[in-house]
Structures are given as structure tokens and as C-alpha cells.
């Protein structure tokens, strides 16, 4: 579904991505892990075309995305920070995004699920962080597209919303969607991820299933396995 | 792109700054007309104000909008929309709403004071054309500055400095160079030097209207053929539109290679 | 007896004085004006009927009335001078005279008056001319209601509309002159009154004065002339109620004064000229109650000009009010209205509380480097003008109007 080859990106002197090669097949939940500053968000934004790579190729659904925009029809993106134009109301924002994407959306059940209906007439600037994140989720999941890219989706969610969110994820995976998630919460990874992609200092450190990771590092839980992996890689 | 324009425009139309700008021009128009009590005199005073003030407001508004709309921009970038359309649409939204404020803000008082029956209607037309051009030029320049500077404070500072340079410092350096090389024939240089700054260029359009008698007092052949005929007006308008096109192209180019 | 003798005497006298009227037309006894004039006795009237008369060198050498009925045409066919008057008491009226010969050696005129007195020339229309009405060493005459329209393009091959040379006590009234070299030209001519004429679109000057004293010109309109109006080397000239308009160009002036002494310039309007009045070496002139509107420079003062007074004039929306090329000032400006005056009047006496400095630093800079005119109305110039106003360095320190009016006069 997504092919990345030899992806490089520097911000001024900071060489963030140092040659990423990655092949993501269609279907399944991929957890993108790595310490702060390892290049997770940069990689995701490269796929979205928000960051222009210095070098390398990116293909989505077999199509080179360089200077393209129409491929984003197939992508649903949840940004890390739920930053919205503050002077819009919630329902105005939803209508605007639908209008801009020109796709059919199914937002009513989602609003119901996250209990957002009372907030529809509120301005986005007056929402709490958690509510904003819920709006973020609605905007992402209201379109029925093959690829989901979620940057830290669990931030600020209350337990109930988190449960609903996990349910959504499973439902979409079962429909055969490709879902990329960056996160720092290992329990969450353990619970939902099919495969792990581990980034360290701008390179892919590991790609494979959770079982494979646990087997290699002879560990009981992901947290320790990852810690060992990071230690090994730095030593190497 | 029209959708982006629509949303930017809506966004600005409900921002209090737009109303502030509109009311400012409304007040200025009424005040000048009240003091002069004469449409054509009011226009002359306004022309002098407009060449300096409109660029400043275009700059400040442009840079403020760009930084404030950052969330909106990021949101748009993840959508299946062409990048150039995002920036061009936003540019048109800001430039368009500012121009609308200018036209309405000044138009209403002048119409109330009998512009339509006055011979100065062409001068007023020139005033609006110059005002609109300067708004678009300086909005585009401000967008360029904002695209190159992620730091808001820095970007704001650079944009105001750019205005200060073009509105005042440039003319000082220009004058100095004219005085230093006064032994040489300077009229071509003087014309080119004025074309190279959109504020000076707009001022020349106004001079063509108001001070043609003094401009024809100069003996240089280049001046004479430029100011004495319609050539001057046409060339100045043409270059003024180039002054819109180039910063806008540059802005789109800058936007296409920027990371968000 | 004595009664009869008396009547006889009167009849005889009448016969002597009784002027005859001679008619000229295609079918009359006389079909040529020239012939009729030749045959006429002094004080006769020659009436010319409608028609085209192709004649030149009509010489009037006796007191005579030569009058056209329904505007007959005298066509010179570009061969030479048409009417020459060399006698006193000639009245000439009602002709359209065209195609005067052009020459580089002789100044052919449509009508020339030589050494004559008490003439009156009126209601003529002159077209395609070289010189129009040329007065030479003549006096006590009137030139009234003529319309002179040339087709001059260059100075060197064109002549003047009304030309006065060594003439005095002449009145030039209600004429309209256009497209000649100088509309009205005076040289060594004193006690002349020029009133209510229009002089437009001439190649050089609308009115040109040289070495002529004690003259007045009032209520005239001078518009769009190549170089405006020039008054030079003359004394005691009165210039009032004239309009000087739209004289544009590097050497064009509403009014050019050069070596003029003791003149009065009052109630005139100077509108949209490159320079309203250009003053060189002129002393003891009173400028009052004039309006200077939308000129490039209202006043340009060059060289030594002393003891001039500028009072109660209106300076309205000129690009520059005054340009001075000297650091000294011996002229007085007072009680003028300056539209660019920004002072205040706290004591409400109608006079601004701070003096007005009519010479801007920018005008000094433009005098030095003319190309800097391109910076007119720029914010930078406003700033340095302001600083110069606060502490003058380049402009004459005492050149101020200490009593600027708050309201237009």
C-alpha cells in the first residue's frame, strides 16, 4: 500500500531521516514507535506531502506522490495536536471539511459515539483538549478511505472515549483498512497493533509482528523488548 | 481554490479586524470630506495617505492572517487539495477582503458627498485601483515573509521592516544616489528606480494625475515622453500589475517547497 | 442777398466735405479694392460687397473708410502684404483676409500701419497669415474685435498676431488670437492698453513685452501658449484681472518677468502652469490678491529681486509654492493664504499663530538636481521638509509669511 525507499530529510543541520526503506502492505494496524526526535512525525508528514523530502521515493497505492495531491483522497489523517481555526464552530468545521474533500461522510454516529452533539454550536477555541481531540477523531473517521494515519491519537482521551476509539480501530481493520499509528503508550500498542515499525535516529530499527519482537529479545513485554532493542542499536 | 477563497474570506469577514479596517476608512473618508468639504480635494489628500498607509495595513494584515491561519493551513494540507491553490486562495481571501473594506469604506462617504456628480470620479477610480494593487502587492509580500519565517515575532518584524524600507528608506537612498550622480544624465535611472518600488510606482501614477504641470517642467526627453503622453500611465499600470504577479508567483513557489 | 450767399457757401462747403461712397463688387464700376482706394478722395468711404478679391499691396495713403459688407474675402494667394496704411484717420473694418505671403526677408502683414495716427482697425478675420496686424511708429489707434487664427508650428517661419513697434497710445481690445508665434508683441511701445483679449495656443508667447513702459493689460486670457507670457525690460506695467492657464513645459511660464521695475500685478489667476510667475531681476513690484492654483511652482524667484511685496494672494494646491535660488531674501510676504499651511489660530484672529515657510527643502533639491522631482509627494520628502521647516539650513531664514491667513481670500 505504501512504499518508501531511501527517504532522507534534514531540517537545517539536523538530519532527521537518514534513508528510510519501508514497505507497508494493505490491511492491518501498524504502530510506529521510537523515541522523541526519531523522525516518526516527519515520516508520516512525508507520506502526507506536508513535508517535502530531500531525497527518496514515496508511493501510495503504487503511485509516486511527488507533487501530487489527489492521492490524499485515499488518506485520513489525524494530526498530533488538535489545532483548529478557533473562530469556527464544531459543525461548521465538519461541514467545511466535507465540502473541501467532496466525499460522502458519515459523521452523525461518530458524534453520537463521542458525545459531541451538545458541543456542535460551540466555537472550537472554547473546547477542552479532550473534546478537541474527539472532534479530531470524528473528522478522521467520518470518511471511508483505505488508509488511516494517526499521530498520537490517544492524547487527552478519557477512558470511555479510549474504549470507543479502540472499537473504531478494530472495526476499520476488519474492513481491511491500512492504519498507521504513532504512539508512546505500549499497552495500547500491545492491545491493537498487528505490526511494529521502530524508528531510531532516522532509520528503521525493526519491522515485524509483536511476537517476532518478543521472540528476538526473549522478553515478556514490549516495553522491555524495545528498551533492549534501543540499547543494542546504540551499541552497534 | 474557490473554496479556499470562500472560507478565508468568510473567516476574515467575521474577524473584528476587518470591521476595524472598514470603519477606519469610513471614518477617514468622512473626516477628510468634512474638513475639505470638497470631493476632489478629499481625493488628493487621500491619495497621499493611501500610498503609505495601505501597504502598511496590507503587510500587517497579511502577516497576521498567515500566522493565525496556521491551523487552517495545516488542516488543508492534509486534504486532497493542490498546495498552490491553498496559498493562492488564502492570498485572494485576505487581499479581497481588504480591498472590499477599502472600496466600501471610502466609497460610502464619497458617494454620500456626491462623487457621482463630481468630475473627480476618474481620480477616485485611480485611487481605488492604486489602493487595490498596493493591498495585493503587500499582502503577497507579507505572505512571502511569513512563509520564510516560522517564528512569528521575527516574521512580523521583517514584514514591518520591509514596509519601512519601501515606504521611506528606499526613497532616502534613491535621493542620495541621485544627488551623488547629479553630473550624469539621470532621467532613465530615475524612472527605473521608481519602478523598482511599488510605493514609488503608485506615487508616480498619482503624480501623473495631480502634478503633470510640474513634471513637464523638467527638460529631459525621457521624462517628457513618459509623462507627456499616455505612455507613462500605461507603463506604470503594467509594471504595477507585474508587481502583483511576481510576489504571488514567488509565494506559490515558496509555499510548494515549505515543510509543515 | 447775404442770405443766398450764406446758403451758397454752406452748399459749397458741404460739397467739399461731403464724402463720397464708392462701391466695390464684381459687377460694380470698381471690381478691385485697390483701384477703388486709388480713385477715392480723402475722407471717402469704400464699401466692399461680398465676394473674393485676390489682391495684394492695397495702399491706403489718404484718410479713408474701407469697409466690408457681409465679410468679403481678400485673398493674398501667398504673394505678399495685403493692406498697408500710411495715412492718418483710416478706418478699416469687416474683411476676412487670408493667405498672406511668407518670407524670410520681409515681414509681410495682413494689415500694416506705418507712421499713422487715429486709425481704427476692427472686425477683421485673419487666416493663413504671416504677420497679422503690424503697427509701426504709429499712435492713437485702436485695434478692436479682430480674430486672428494662424497655423504656426515653428518659431522661425511664423509671425506675430498683433505687433507693435515704436508705437504709443494704442488700445488693443477684445481680440482673439491663436496659433501664431507671439499673440501680441510690443517693442518700444508706451502707454498701451491691452484689454479683454484672448491669446491661445500660440507657438511662443501669448503676450510679449520688450522695452515698453507705462502699459496696462487687463482682463485678458492667456492659455496654452508655448512659453506663456513674457514681460521684459520694462517699467510701470499694470497687470490686473488676467487669467494665465495651462502653460506647460520646461521653458513655459504663466508669466515671465525679467528686469521689470515698479509694476503692479493684481487680481490675476494663475492656473495649472508649470511655473505661475518666473521672476528674474525684478524690483519694487506689488503682487496682491492673485490666485495661484494647481501650478507646478506658483513662484520661481531667480537672481536679484528686491523690495517686492506679496500680499493677500491665495496659494492653492501648487506642487511647490515658491522656489528661491538664493540664500538672501529682501522681499516681503504677508497676509497670504497658503493651502499647505498646517498651523493653528488659537487667538481666533484669522491669522495663523506660527509663520509659514513657503520654500521647501525639496524645492531647493529639485533646483539642484531636477530628476529628483520624481520623489515629489513621497513620505521621505515630507519628513525632510518638516525637519527643514523646524530648523532651516538650506532655505533663506527670513523667508516667511509671518501672518498667514486661515481662510482663503
- Per-residue H/E/C for chain A: CEEEEEEEEEECCEEEEEEEEEEECCCEEEEEECCCCCCHHHHHHHHHCCCCCCEEEEEECCEECCCCCHHHHHEEEECCCCCCCCCCEHHHHHHHHHHHHCCCECCHHHHHHCCCHHHCCCEHHHCCHHHHHHHHHHHHHCECCCEEEEECCCCCCCHHHHHHHHHHHHHHHHCCCEEEEECCCHHHHHHHCCEEEEEECCEEEEEEEHHHHHHHCCCCCHHHHHHHHHHHHHHC
Average pLDDT over residues B37-58: 85
Smallest CA–CA separation between C295 and chain B, in Å? Answer: 6
- How confident is the model at residue C368, as a pLDDT? 85
Give contacts of C383 with chain B, Cβ < 8 Å.
Answer: 168
From the list C274, C317, C381, the residue facing B44 with the nearest CB is C317
User: Chain B: residue nearest A45 by CA?
Assistant: B260
Would you call B75 and A85 a contact, using CB atoms and an 8 Å cutoff? yes
Output the tens digit of pLDDT for each of chain C's 409 residues. Answer: 456 655 555 555 554 556 789 999 989 889 999 999 999 999 999 999 999 999 999 999 999 999 999 999 999 999 999 999 999 999 999 999 999 988 888 889 999 999 999 999 999 999 999 999 999 999 999 999 999 999 888 887 889 999 999 999 999 999 999 999 999 999 999 999 999 999 999 999 999 999 999 999 999 999 999 888 999 999 999 999 999 999 988 888 999 999 999 999 999 999 999 999 999 999 999 999 999 999 989 999 988 889 999 999 999 989 899 988 877 788 999 999 998 888 889 989 999 999 999 988 888 888 888 888 888 888 898 888 888 888 787 777 788 999 999 999 8
Cβ within 8 Å, pair B78-A50: yes
**Can you read off the three cell numbers belonging to residue B86?**
491553498
Q: CA A144, CA A45: separation in Å to the nearest integer?
A: 21
pLDDT reported for residue B200: 93
A72 to B74: CB separation less than 8 angstroms, yes or no: no
Of B8-17, B43-52, C117-126, C127-136, the range with the lowest mean pLDDT is B8-17
Contact exists between A and C (3 or more beta carbon pairs < 8 Å): no
Would you kindly state where each structural domain of chain C is located, as residue ranges? 43-390
Tens-binned pLDDT, residue by residue, of chain A (236 aa):
888 888 888 888 888 888 888 888 888 899 998 888 888 888 888 888 888 888 888 888 888 888 888 888 888 898 887 777 777 888 888 898 898 888 888 888 989 988 889 998 988 888 888 888 899 889 888 998 899 999 888 888 889 999 999 998 999 999 989 999 998 888 888 888 888 888 888 888 888 888 888 888 888 788 888 888 777 777 76
User: Tell me, what's the pLDDT at A236?
Assistant: 63
pLDDT single digits (tens) A161-202: 999 999 989 999 999 899 999 988 888 888 888 888 888 888
pLDDT of residue C9: 53
The Cβ of residue C33 has, within 10 Å, a number of other Cβ atoms equal to 22
Q: Do chains A and B touch (3 or more CB pairs under 8 A)?
A: yes
Could you tell me if C147 and C71 are in contact, meaning their C-beta atoms sit under 8 angstroms apart? no
Tell me if B214 and C376 make a contact (CB, 8 A cut-off). Answer: yes
Helix (H) or strand (E) holding C38: helix C33-39
Q: What is the pLDDT of residues B57-95, one digit of tens each?
A: 999 999 998 998 888 888 888 888 888 898 999 999 899
Distance between B174 CA and the closest CA of chain C, angstroms: 9
pLDDT, residue C175, reads: 97
Check CB contact of C407 with chain B, cutoff 8 Å.
Answer: no
Is the CB of B213 less than 8 angstroms away from the CB of C319? yes
pLDDT of residue C6: 58
Residues of B in contact with C296 (CB under 8 A): 211, 213-217
Distance from CA of B244 to the nearest CA of A (A): 25
Q: Which of C273, C319, C378 sits opposite B211 (nearest CB)?
A: C319
Contacts of C75 (CB under 8 A, 6+ apart): C52, C53, C54, C55, C98, C99
CB contact under 8 A, C317 and B207: no
Domain A29-38+74-235: state its class. Answer: alpha beta
The vertex-A183 CA angle with A178 and A185, nearest 5°, equals: 125
- Amino acid C7: pLDDT: 59
Per domain, the residue ranges of chain B are 2-256
Nearest CA in chain C to B179: C369
Q: What is the pLDDT of residues C273-327, one digit of tens each?
A: 999 999 999 999 999 999 999 998 999 998 888 999 999 999 998 989 998 887 7
Question: pLDDT tens-digit profile of C347-392?
Answer: 899 999 999 999 888 888 888 888 888 888 888 988 888 888 887 8
Measured between CA atoms, the residue of chain C closest to residue B192 is: C374
Percentage of chain A exceeding pLDDT 70: 99
Query: Which residue in chain C is spatially nearest to B187 when comparing CA positions?
Result: C371
Q: How confident is the model at residue B125 (pLDDT cuts 50, 70, 90)?
A: confident
> Which residues in chain B are closer than 8 Å to A180, comparing Cβ atoms?
none
Strands A55-60 and A2-11: antiparallel
Q: Which CATH architecture has domain C43-390?
A: 3 Solenoid (2.160)
Amino acid at each position: 500500500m505504501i512504499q518508501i525507499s531511501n527517504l532522507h530529510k534534514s531540517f537545517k543541520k539536523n538530519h532527521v531521516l537518514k534513508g528510510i526503506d519501508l514497505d507497508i502492505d494493505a490491511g492491518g494496524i501498524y504502530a510506529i514507535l521510537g523515541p522523541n526526535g526519531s523522525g516518526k512525525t516527519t515520516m508520516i508528514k512525508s507520506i502526507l506531502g506536508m513535508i517535502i523530502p530531500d531525497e527518496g521515493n514515496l508511493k501510495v497505492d503504487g503511485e509516486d506522490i511527488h507533487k501530487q495531491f489527489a492521492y490524499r483522497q485515499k488518506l485520513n489523517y489525524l494530526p498530533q495536536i488538535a489545532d483548529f481555526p478557533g473562530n469556527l464552530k464544531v459543525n461548521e468545521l465538519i461541514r467545511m471539511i466535507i465540502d473541501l474533500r467532496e466525499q460522502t461522510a458519515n459523521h452523525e454516529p461518530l458524534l453520537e459515539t463521542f458525545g459531541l452533539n451538545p458541543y456542535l454550536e460551540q466555537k472550537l477555541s472554547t473546547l477542552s483538549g479532550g473534546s478537541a481531540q474527539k472532534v479530531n477523531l470524528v473528522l478522521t473517521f467520518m470518511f471511508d478511505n483505505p488508509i488511516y494515519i494517526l499521530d498520537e491519537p490517544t492524547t487527552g482521551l478519557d477512558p470511555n472515549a479510549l474504549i470507543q476509539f479502540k472499537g473504531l480501530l478494530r472495526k476499520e481493520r476488519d474492513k481491511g483498512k491500512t492504519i498507521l499509528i504513532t504512539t508512546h503508550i505500549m499497552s495500547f500498542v500491545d492491545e491493537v497493533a498487528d505490526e511494529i515499525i521502530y524508528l531510531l535516529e532516522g532509520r528503521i530499527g525493526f519491522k515485524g509482528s509483536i511476537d517476532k519482537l518478543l521472540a528476538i529479545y526473549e522478553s515478556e513485554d514490549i516495553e522491555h523488548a524495545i528498551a533492549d532493542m534501543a540499547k543494542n542499536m546504540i551499541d552497534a | 481554490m474557490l473554496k479556499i477563497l470562500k472560507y478565508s474570506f468568510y473567516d476574515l469577514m467575521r474577524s473584528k479586524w476587518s470591521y476595524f479596517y472598514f470603519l477606519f476608512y469610513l471614518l477617514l473618508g468622512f473626516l477628510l470630506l468634512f474638513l475639505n468639504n470638497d470631493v476632489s480635494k478629499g481625493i488628493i489628500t487621500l491619495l497621499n495617505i493611501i500610498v503609505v498607509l495601505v501597504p502598511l495595513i496590507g503587510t500587517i494584515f497579511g502577516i497576521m492572517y498567515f500566522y493565525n491561519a496556521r491551523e487552517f493551513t495545516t488542516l488543508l494540507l492534509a486534504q486532497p487539495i493542490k498546495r498552490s491553490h491553498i496559498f493562492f486562495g488564502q492570498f485572494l481571501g485576505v487581499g479581497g477582503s481588504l480591498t472590499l473594506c477599502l472600496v466600501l469604506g471610502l466609497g460610502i462617504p464619497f458617494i454620500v458627498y456626491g462623487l457621482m456628480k463630481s468630475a473627480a470620479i476618474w481620480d477616485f477610480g485611480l485611487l481605488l485601483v492604486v489602493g487595490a494593487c498596493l493591498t495585493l502587492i503587500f499582502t503577497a509580500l507579507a505572505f512571502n515573509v511569513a512563509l520564510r519565517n516560522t517564528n512569528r515575532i521575527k516574521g512580523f518584524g521583517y514584514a514591518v521592516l520591509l514596509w519601512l524600507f519601501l515606504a521611506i528608506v528606499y526613497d532616502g537612498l534613491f535621493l542620495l544616489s541621485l544627488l551623488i550622480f547629479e553630473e550624469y544624465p539621470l532621467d532613465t535611472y530615475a524612472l527605473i528606480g521608481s519602478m523598482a518600488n511599488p510605493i514609488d510606482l503608485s506615487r508616480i501614477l498619482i503624480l501623473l494625475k495631480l502634478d503633470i504641470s510640474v513634471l513637464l517642467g523638467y527638460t529631459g526627453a525621457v521624462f517628457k515622453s513618459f509623462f507627456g503622453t499616455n505612455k507613462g500611465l500605461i507603463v506604470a499600470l503594467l509594471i504595477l500589475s507585474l508587481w502583483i504577479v511576481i510576489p504571488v508567483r514567488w509565494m506559490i513557489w515558496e509555499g510548494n517547497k515549505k515543510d509543515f | 442777398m447775404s442770405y443766398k450767399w450764406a446758403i451758397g457757401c454752406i452748399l459749397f462747403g458741404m460739397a467739399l466735405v461731403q464724402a463720397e461712397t464708392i462701391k466695390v463688387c464684381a459687377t460694380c464700376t470698381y471690381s478691385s479694392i485697390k483701384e477703388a482706394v486709388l480713385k477715392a478722395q480723402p475722407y471717402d468711404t469704400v464699401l466692399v460687397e461680398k465676394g473674393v478679391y485676390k489682391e495684394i499691396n492695397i495702399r491706403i495713403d489718404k484718410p479713408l473708410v474701407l469697409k466690408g459688407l457681409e465679410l468679403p474675402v481678400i485673398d493674398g494667394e501667398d504673394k505678399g502684404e495685403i493692406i498697408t496704411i500710411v495715412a492718418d484717420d483710416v478706418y478699416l473694418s469687416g474683411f476676412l483676409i487670408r493667405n498672406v505671403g511668407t518670407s524670410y526677408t520681409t515681414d509681410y502683414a495682413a494689415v500694416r500701419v506705418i507712421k499713422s495716427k487715429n486709425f481704427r482697425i476692427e472686425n477683421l478675420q485673419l487666416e493663413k497669415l504671416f504677420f497679422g496686424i503690424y503697427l509701426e511708429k504709429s499712435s492713437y489707434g485702436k485695434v478692436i474685435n479682430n480674430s486672428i487664427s494662424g497655423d504656426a508650428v515653428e518659431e522661425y517661419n511664423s509671425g506675430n498676431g498683433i505687433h507693435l513697434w515704436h508705437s504709443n497710445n494704442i488700445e488693443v481690445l477684445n481680440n482673439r488670437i491663436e496659433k501664431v508665434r507671439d499673440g501680441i508683441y510690443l517693442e518700444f511701445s508706451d502707454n498701451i492698453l491691452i484689454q479683454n483679449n484672448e491669446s491661445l495656443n500660440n507657438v511662443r508667447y501669448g503676450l510679449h513685452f520688450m522695452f515698453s513702459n507705462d502699459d496696462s493689460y487687463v482682463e485678458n486670457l492667456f492659455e496654452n501658449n508655448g512659453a506663456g507670457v513674457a514681460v521684459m525690460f520694462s517699467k510701470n506695467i499694470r497687470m490686473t484681472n488676467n487669467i494665465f492657464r495651462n502653460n506647460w513645459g520646461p521653458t513655459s511660464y504663466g508669466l515671465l518677468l525679467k528686469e521689470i521695475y515698479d509694476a503692479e500685478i493684481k487680481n490675476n489667476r494663475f492656473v495649472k502652469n508649470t511655473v505661475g510667475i518666473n521672476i528674474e531681476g525684478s524690483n519694487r513690484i506689488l503682487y496682491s490678491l492673485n490666485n495661484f492654483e494647481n501650478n507646478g511652482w506658483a513662484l520661481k524667484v531667480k537672481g536679484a529681486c528686491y523690495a517686492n511685496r506679496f500680499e493677500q494672494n491665495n496659494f492653492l494646491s501648487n506642487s511647490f509654492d515658491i522656489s528661491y535660488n538664493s540664500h538672501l531674501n529682501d522681499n516681503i510676504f504677508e497676509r497670504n493664504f497658503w493651502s499647505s499651511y498646517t498651523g493653528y489660530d488659537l487667538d481666533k484672529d484669522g491669522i495663523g499663530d506660527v509663520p509659514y515657510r513657503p520654500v521647501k527643502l525639496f524645492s531647493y533639491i529639485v533646483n539642484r538636481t531636477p530628476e529628483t522631482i520624481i520623489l515629489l509627494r513621497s513620505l521621505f520628502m515630507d519628513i525632510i521638509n518638516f525637519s527643514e521647516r523646524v530648523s532651516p539650513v538650506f532655505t533663506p531664514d527670513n523667508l516667511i509669511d509671518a501672518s498667514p491667513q486661515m481662510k482663503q481670500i
